[in-house]
Amino acid sequence: MAEETKDRIQTPANEAIDRREFFVKMGLGSLGLAAGGTAAFAYQFLSPNVLYEPSPVVNMGKPESYPLDSVTLDVDARIFVIHSQEGFFGLNAVCTHLGCLTAWKPETQTIACPCHGSKFTREGLKKEGPAPKPLPWLRMWVSDEGELMVDRGNEIRAMQFVRV
Protein backbone atom coordinates (compact mmCIF):
# COMPACT_ATOMS: atom_id res chain seq x y z
CA MET A 1 0.00 0.00 0.00
CA ALA A 2 1.38 3.39 -0.93
CA GLU A 3 2.08 5.93 1.79
CA GLU A 4 1.93 9.56 0.89
CA THR A 5 4.07 12.12 2.63
CA LYS A 6 4.05 15.82 1.83
CA ASP A 7 5.78 15.67 -1.56
CA ARG A 8 6.63 12.02 -1.94
CA ILE A 9 4.69 8.84 -2.64
CA GLN A 10 6.03 5.71 -0.99
CA THR A 11 5.43 2.62 -3.11
CA PRO A 12 5.32 -0.90 -1.64
CA ALA A 13 8.77 -1.60 -3.09
CA ASN A 14 10.06 1.34 -1.10
CA GLU A 15 10.81 3.35 -4.21
CA ALA A 16 10.06 6.91 -3.52
CA ILE A 17 8.98 9.11 -6.39
CA ASP A 18 7.93 12.67 -5.93
CA ARG A 19 4.50 13.95 -6.82
CA ARG A 20 5.69 15.97 -9.83
CA GLU A 21 7.50 12.96 -11.30
CA PHE A 22 4.43 10.80 -10.75
CA PHE A 23 2.12 13.18 -12.59
CA VAL A 24 4.63 13.70 -15.43
CA LYS A 25 4.81 9.92 -15.94
CA MET A 26 1.01 9.62 -15.81
CA GLY A 27 0.65 12.46 -18.31
CA LEU A 28 3.22 11.01 -20.69
CA GLY A 29 1.60 7.59 -20.44
CA SER A 30 -1.82 9.05 -21.25
CA LEU A 31 -0.39 10.98 -24.20
CA GLY A 32 1.28 7.81 -25.47
CA LEU A 33 -2.01 5.89 -25.29
CA ALA A 34 -3.89 8.69 -27.05
CA ALA A 35 -1.23 8.92 -29.79
CA GLY A 36 -1.30 5.15 -30.30
CA GLY A 37 -5.10 5.15 -30.62
CA THR A 38 -4.99 8.07 -33.05
CA ALA A 39 -2.33 6.35 -35.17
CA ALA A 40 -4.34 3.11 -35.27
CA PHE A 41 -7.49 4.99 -36.27
CA ALA A 42 -5.62 7.00 -38.93
CA TYR A 43 -4.09 3.82 -40.40
CA GLN A 44 -7.50 2.15 -40.58
CA PHE A 45 -9.06 5.28 -42.08
CA LEU A 46 -6.36 5.72 -44.74
CA SER A 47 -6.01 2.11 -45.81
CA PRO A 48 -8.35 1.18 -48.70
CA ASN A 49 -11.52 -0.54 -47.58
CA VAL A 50 -11.72 -2.96 -50.49
CA LEU A 51 -12.13 -6.66 -50.94
CA TYR A 52 -9.22 -8.16 -52.89
CA GLU A 53 -10.39 -10.88 -55.25
CA PRO A 54 -8.49 -13.03 -57.70
CA SER A 55 -8.40 -11.93 -61.32
CA PRO A 56 -11.48 -12.89 -63.34
CA VAL A 57 -9.24 -13.89 -66.24
CA VAL A 58 -8.48 -17.60 -66.24
CA ASN A 59 -5.88 -19.43 -68.31
CA MET A 60 -7.57 -22.60 -69.57
CA GLY A 61 -4.48 -24.03 -71.24
CA LYS A 62 -3.73 -25.21 -74.75
CA PRO A 63 -6.61 -25.73 -77.19
CA GLU A 64 -5.17 -29.14 -78.09
CA SER A 65 -6.14 -30.41 -74.63
CA TYR A 66 -9.83 -30.11 -75.57
CA PRO A 67 -10.92 -32.78 -78.07
CA LEU A 68 -13.43 -31.89 -80.74
CA ASP A 69 -17.04 -32.05 -79.46
CA SER A 70 -15.92 -32.02 -75.83
CA VAL A 71 -17.45 -30.19 -72.90
CA THR A 72 -14.99 -29.66 -70.06
CA LEU A 73 -15.92 -28.25 -66.67
CA ASP A 74 -13.26 -26.44 -64.66
CA VAL A 75 -14.72 -26.73 -61.17
CA ASP A 76 -12.40 -24.14 -59.62
CA ALA A 77 -13.03 -21.51 -62.29
CA ARG A 78 -16.70 -22.55 -62.66
CA ILE A 79 -16.40 -22.45 -66.43
CA PHE A 80 -17.25 -24.85 -69.22
CA VAL A 81 -14.81 -24.90 -72.12
CA ILE A 82 -16.58 -26.30 -75.14
CA HIS A 83 -14.91 -27.35 -78.35
CA SER A 84 -17.56 -27.58 -81.01
CA GLN A 85 -17.42 -27.91 -84.78
CA GLU A 86 -17.77 -24.11 -85.01
CA GLY A 87 -14.89 -23.42 -82.61
CA PHE A 88 -14.24 -22.90 -78.90
CA PHE A 89 -16.42 -21.06 -76.45
CA GLY A 90 -16.69 -20.58 -72.70
CA LEU A 91 -19.84 -20.82 -70.64
CA ASN A 92 -20.40 -19.74 -67.08
CA ALA A 93 -21.20 -23.00 -65.26
CA VAL A 94 -23.13 -21.32 -62.45
CA CYS A 95 -26.87 -21.91 -62.74
CA THR A 96 -28.87 -18.76 -63.33
CA HIS A 97 -31.55 -19.92 -60.91
CA LEU A 98 -29.91 -19.88 -57.47
CA GLY A 99 -26.24 -20.25 -58.28
CA CYS A 100 -25.52 -23.99 -58.05
CA LEU A 101 -22.69 -25.42 -60.09
CA THR A 102 -24.02 -27.27 -63.12
CA ALA A 103 -22.56 -30.42 -64.66
CA TRP A 104 -22.31 -31.88 -68.15
CA LYS A 105 -24.36 -35.05 -68.72
CA PRO A 106 -22.97 -36.68 -71.88
CA GLU A 107 -25.67 -39.35 -71.95
CA THR A 108 -28.35 -36.71 -72.53
CA GLN A 109 -26.05 -34.09 -74.11
CA THR A 110 -27.31 -31.68 -71.45
CA ILE A 111 -25.87 -29.33 -68.89
CA ALA A 112 -27.88 -30.11 -65.76
CA CYS A 113 -28.25 -28.34 -62.46
CA PRO A 114 -28.41 -30.72 -59.48
CA CYS A 115 -30.30 -28.32 -57.23
CA HIS A 116 -33.72 -27.79 -58.81
CA GLY A 117 -33.48 -29.60 -62.10
CA SER A 118 -32.76 -26.90 -64.64
CA LYS A 119 -31.33 -28.21 -67.88
CA PHE A 120 -29.45 -26.38 -70.60
CA THR A 121 -28.21 -27.18 -74.06
CA ARG A 122 -24.48 -27.34 -74.74
CA GLU A 123 -24.79 -23.74 -75.97
CA GLY A 124 -26.29 -22.70 -72.62
CA LEU A 125 -29.90 -22.33 -73.76
CA LYS A 126 -32.49 -23.33 -71.17
CA LYS A 127 -34.36 -26.55 -71.96
CA GLU A 128 -36.37 -26.94 -68.76
CA GLY A 129 -36.51 -26.04 -65.07
CA PRO A 130 -36.78 -22.86 -63.03
CA ALA A 131 -33.65 -21.09 -64.34
CA PRO A 132 -34.77 -17.68 -65.60
CA LYS A 133 -31.97 -17.19 -68.14
CA PRO A 134 -29.57 -19.17 -70.30
CA LEU A 135 -26.02 -19.81 -69.10
CA PRO A 136 -23.96 -16.78 -70.12
CA TRP A 137 -21.22 -16.99 -72.72
CA LEU A 138 -17.91 -15.60 -71.50
CA ARG A 139 -15.30 -13.70 -73.46
CA MET A 140 -12.64 -16.09 -74.68
CA TRP A 141 -9.48 -15.45 -76.68
CA VAL A 142 -6.15 -17.03 -77.49
CA SER A 143 -3.15 -15.50 -75.72
CA ASP A 144 0.19 -14.73 -77.38
CA GLU A 145 1.43 -18.03 -75.94
CA GLY A 146 -1.36 -19.87 -77.76
CA GLU A 147 -3.47 -20.62 -74.67
CA LEU A 148 -7.19 -20.22 -74.23
CA MET A 149 -8.06 -17.36 -71.90
CA VAL A 150 -11.51 -16.76 -70.41
CA ASP A 151 -12.72 -13.65 -68.66
CA ARG A 152 -15.30 -14.71 -66.08
CA GLY A 153 -16.34 -11.12 -65.56
CA ASN A 154 -17.14 -10.41 -69.19
CA GLU A 155 -20.32 -11.88 -70.67
CA ILE A 156 -20.74 -11.75 -74.42
CA ARG A 157 -23.47 -12.44 -76.96
CA ALA A 158 -23.97 -16.12 -77.64
CA MET A 159 -22.57 -17.87 -80.69
CA GLN A 160 -19.24 -16.00 -80.86
CA PHE A 161 -16.80 -18.82 -81.37
CA VAL A 162 -13.03 -18.72 -81.07
CA ARG A 163 -11.34 -20.43 -83.98
CA VAL A 164 -7.81 -21.68 -83.49
User: What residues make contact with ligand FES under the rule CB under 6 A?
Assistant: 95, 97-98, 100, 113, 115-118, 129-131
Rounded Cα–Cα distance for residues 82 and 38 (Å): 56
In contact, 151 and 56? CB cutoff 8 Å: yes
State how far the alpha carbon of 75 is from the alpha carbons of 18, 139, 147, in Å.
72, 18, 19
Collapse the DSSP code of 157 into the 3-class scheme (helix H, G, I; strand E, B; otherwise coil) and give the result: coil
Residue nearer to ligand FES on the CB measure, 8 or 119 = 119
Residue nearer to ligand FES on the CB measure, 135 or 150 = 135
Shortest Å, Cβ 99 to ligand FES? 6
Shortest Å, Cβ 104 to ligand FES? 14
Residue nearer to ligand FES on the CB measure, 32 or 117 = 117
Shortest Å, Cβ 129 to ligand FES? 5
Rounded Cα–Cα distance for residues 137 and 89 (Å): 7
